[in-house]
Every structure is written in C-alpha cells, then in structure tokens.
Amino acid sequence: MTLPRYGHYKDSGVDWLGEVPAHWQVTRLKFIAHVQTGIAKGKDNTEKDTVEVPYLRVANVQDGYLDLEDVATIEIAVDDLPRYQLRAGDVLMNEGGDFDKLGRGHVWDGSIDPCIHQNHVFAVRPFGASPQWLNLITGSAYAQFYFMSRSKQSTNLASISSTNVMELPVVMPPAAEQERIAEFLGNETATIDRLIDEQQRLIELLTEKRQAVVAHTVTKGLIPAAPMKDSGVEWLGDVPANWDVSRLKFIAKVQTGVAKGKDNTGKEVVEVPYLRVANVQDGYLDLEEVSTIEIPTNDLARYRLRAGDVLMNEGGDFDKLGRGHIWDGSIDPCIHQNHVFAVRPTGVSPGWLNTITGSAYAQFYFMSRSKQSTNLASISSTNLMELPVVVPPTAEQATLLNWIDAQSAAFDDLLDSAKMAVSLLRERRTALISAAVTGQIDVRDTAASAKADAGCTPTC
C-alpha cells in the first residue's frame, strides 16, 4: 500500500523529528499530561491504617498489552491510596529494565479497581490528548529513540526519569484526525499482527516437526519394513532388531564439573577458562564470553575437557535441561562448571550421542527424572547415567546422522524464512506507526474509506 504525504509541512523545531504537517502542533508531554510515579516497596507503615491492594509491576506492562495473569498485592497506608491509584485511561509506561522494556506500555482500562503501580512503572494521565493517541506516541519509534537518548544506561539495562519523560516532544493533530489515524493504525496493525501470529505458529509447527523427525529416526531408523524388537523400555517401544539398547553408563563416562568457591589456600593453582550454562546452548556453543577460574593445578586433569566430549546442562530453566553440543577442543586447556556435564563416549560416536541427548525421547527422560520447582529443573549425574541409549551399528549411525543433518538443514531454511518474515512484519509495523503519528503519511482518506466500507458515514 502506497500512502500519500500531506500537502504542506513545517519544521517541528525538533532536530531528530524533522518536518510535520503544517496544521499539526508540537508540544511537550508535560503540557498535555501528568506523569504519576509509582510506589516503592518497603515503605514503613508502622502505626498507620493500611490496606492491601493489587499493584502493577514491569512484568505486567508489556508492549501493546497488559499481562494481568499474575498481579501481586502490596500493603500501603490508606492515606497513600489516592496518590498511587490508577484511573481508566492512564497510559502505563515502564521506567526501565532491559532495553526492550524501556517505555513500553498500554492504556489502563480500569479492570481492577482499586489498583496502583510500582515505582518502575509510570502512569501518564492525559488531559490534552486522547489516551489512545498518547499511547501511540509513547510506543512509537521516535519516542523510543527519545527515551533511549535520555536514559541512564548500563549493560543491557536502561531507565528514564519522570522529568525526562515529561519533556518528550509530542506531535498533536486535530482531535478528529487523531481518531482517524488511531482507527487506521488499529486496522493495519491488527492485520500485521495476524500475519505475525501465522508465521509464529508456522515456526512452532516446523520446530515440532523437526523434533518428531529426529526422534523417529534415532529410535526407529529409516527402513519402515525393518524387523523390530522390544527395546525393554516401556516408553521407548520397539526398535530395529539389529540395534542395541544400552544404559549411558556402559557406553560413556559422565564427568561432573568444578564448583565455584572452593578454598585453595596453600595450594598451587592455575587459572583456566571454564564453560558455564550460558556457554552451552541447544545445538551450539556460545564462546564469545568465556570466564576463567582458579583451581588447584592437580585438579586440572580431573576437570579438563577433551575434543569429542558431549556437553550437557545439568539444569536451569526447563528449556536448558540437557541441552548441549559437542566440544571441539578450540580452547585448551578448558574445564567446565558443576552445572555442565561432560559426557565422554566410549562405545558410540560423539555425533550419535549428541543427537540422542538432544532428542525428544531423551528430553522426556530427563524431565521425568529431574528435580523440579517453578520453571526450574535439574538432573543428577546418577540419573543421567541411567539414560537408555539406542545404538545402531557404527556404519548405520553415520548414515542416519547424514540424513538427519540434511533434514535439519531443510528445516533450518524454512525456519529462517519464517523468522525473517516475522522480523520484516515487525519492522513494517514499527515503521507504519512512526510514519502515521509523525505525519509522514496522510491516512485520513484511507480511514474514512474503511468506515464507508463498513457501512458508516465519516462522522459515525
């Protein structure tokens, strides 16, 4: 869709904003809205009448929607409630956090009342613009640029003060035009969001299909009519008759890693690189940032990695349990922390063992034998060593791995295309909003046409 520009423009007076339509106004946020700061936890309410109320945190305030599934409560002084209470129409904005959280938000609909907000969430209460328009502005690329340029930043974190938020330049079309632009963007972004959802679902399906293909290949092989036998493992079922099924402890050694904080006083030590959970990803190793640790010189041989070791995470978030990759020896010497196992194969190829431990059936085993808490799981080396491993003849292992590699490459191409589509759609969405709210495109006739198509007059 190619949209026209306005007929006349003027300098906005803001260098990085450039020109805006001649009949639009440019003002500062402080002249059209109040910025209400939130409550900090830990206030002393001794000898005060208190009330327990729901309050919104950064986790509740997402980009373009509110996540109200888990709303915490806090006890505050009764006299403080009016100071922090939210009103329907407030534009909620995050004061900081990860870079992608800065300034993100949504309009509060008053669905929980009373409800307050924490000090890391601003409530921007408009009096000279509609909440919908203000929300479009604060969520736009130009406002995000402003927030980042005025924020305090550290590694991956940023925060902005209420004083700087109030100085945000805000472009203001006439009220009727604000409404038309908001309607246009509502329709267009809804269409883009549907397309993004479709691509995300495709990514999920491709990922599931890929996992299913690998799981079937490593447990059933490639010959549909091959003779089968009972694996002896109830949840594994039948396997090809010429395959063996062995416990991991009989075909590999599981080497546990070093724990931090050991007392090395009086010992000869050496400083060596060591791999952490963050380095061991699903299907690859991230070696951009490898830490070092001091260990006794005599312990180096005990923890040293060898090329061909299959690295596996002992635990963490559910998606980290058992994930890993083959160590190629690119850093030597190198050791591993106690939350990373080094599985050293003796009766199977490293490639086959890595494929098995990364497969759906092994993941099922790890989860069923793990210690679990909220979103966290860990498996012991003892349970790991009991993993049933299907072992085809050596030549067949190589054939199957080559076939899996080819299939994985085809799935990777499809996944890359879908992810690229999502990225381009998101860029399109961002660019469209930014262009519309800064007047770089004129959508008035488009919005009016959409109403007419729906059976409305331009004023309905």
- pLDDT band at residue 44, thresholds of 50, 70 and 90? confident
Task: Tell whether the model's pLDDT for residue 450 goes beyond 60.
Answer: no
> Is the N-terminal amide bond of 333 cis, ω within 30° of 0?
yes
Amino acid present at 338: N
Considering its fold, how many domains does the chain have in total?
2
Task: Tell whether the model's pLDDT for residue 130 goes beyond 60.
Answer: yes
Task: Tell whether the model's pLDDT for residue 71 goes beyond 60.
Answer: yes
Say whether both 364 and 274 belong to one domain. Answer: yes
- Which among 376, 391, 406 is the end of a domain? 391
Mean residue pLDDT across the chain: 90
- Residue 294 or 47, more confident: 294
Say whether both 165 and 248 belong to one domain. Answer: no
Which tens digits make up the pLDDT trace of 175-229?
A: 999 999 999 999 999 999 999 999 999 999 999 999 999 999 999 999 989 999 9
Pairing of strands 91-94, 121-126: antiparallel
Residue 174 contacts residue 166 (beta carbons within 8 Å)? no
Mean pLDDT lowest among 161-175, 354-368, 421-435, 443-457: 443-457
Say whether both 122 and 253 belong to one domain. Answer: no
| Residue 189 maps to a domain | no
CA-CA distance, 368 to 76, in Å (whole number)? 43
Residue at token pair 């009972």: 230
| Residue 442 maps to a domain | no
CA-CA distance, 128 to 120, in Å (whole number)? 24
CA-CA distance, 69 to 59, in Å (whole number)? 10
pLDDT at 158: 84
The domain that holds 96 is classified in CATH as 3.90.220.20
Amino acid present at 187: N
Task: Tell whether the model's pLDDT for residue 459 goes beyond 70.
Answer: no
| Residue 210 maps to a domain | no
- Residue 16 or 328, more confident: 328
End-to-end, the C-alpha distance of the chain in Å comes to 25
- Which among 391, 417, 441 is the end of a domain? 391
- pLDDT band at residue 316, thresholds of 50, 70 and 90? confident
- Which among 117, 138, 172 is the end of a domain? 172
Pairing of strands 269-275, 335-336: parallel
Which tens digits make up the pLDDT trace of 240-254?
A: 999 999 999 999 999
| Burial of residue 251 (number of CB atoms within 10 Å: 0-12, 13-18, 19+) | middle
| Residue 408 maps to a domain | no
Task: Tell whether the model's pLDDT for residue 452 goes beyond 60.
Answer: no
Residue 121 contacts residue 95 (beta carbons within 8 Å)? yes
Instruction: Count CA atoms within 13 Å of residue 157 on its CB side.
Output: 4
Output phi, psi for 229, to 5 deg.
-145, 160
Instruction: Count CA atoms within 13 Å of residue 413 on its CB side.
Output: 5
Residue 213 contacts residue 349 (beta carbons within 8 Å)? no
| Residue 180 maps to a domain | no
pLDDT at 451: 53
Task: Tell whether the model's pLDDT for residue 117 goes beyond 90.
Answer: yes
Tokens at 392, concatenated: 């085809």
| Residue 183 maps to a domain | no
Which tens digits make up the pLDDT trace of 261-308?
A: 888 888 899 999 999 999 999 889 999 999 999 999 999 999 999 999
CA-CA distance, 403 to 192, in Å (whole number)? 37
Three-state SS for 256?
A: coil
Cα 51 from chain centre = 35
- Structural domain of residue 383, as residue ranges? 244-391
| Residue 74 maps to a domain | yes
- Sequence-separated (6 or more) residues with CB below 8 Å from residue 394: 349
Say whether both 152 and 274 belong to one domain. Answer: no
Instruction: Count CA atoms within 13 Å of residue 278 on its CB side.
Output: 6
Cα 246 from chain centre = 37
Pick from 252, 190, 173, 70: nearest CA to 439 = 173
Tell me the CA distances in angstroms from 143 to 102, 171, 326, one per residue in order: 10, 11, 45
| Residue 182 maps to a domain | no
Say whether both 154 and 72 belong to one domain. Answer: yes
Which tens digits make up the pLDDT trace of 418-440?
A: 999 999 999 999 999 999 999 99
Task: Tell whether the model's pLDDT for residue 448 goes beyond 60.
Answer: no
Say whether both 262 and 365 belong to one domain. Answer: yes
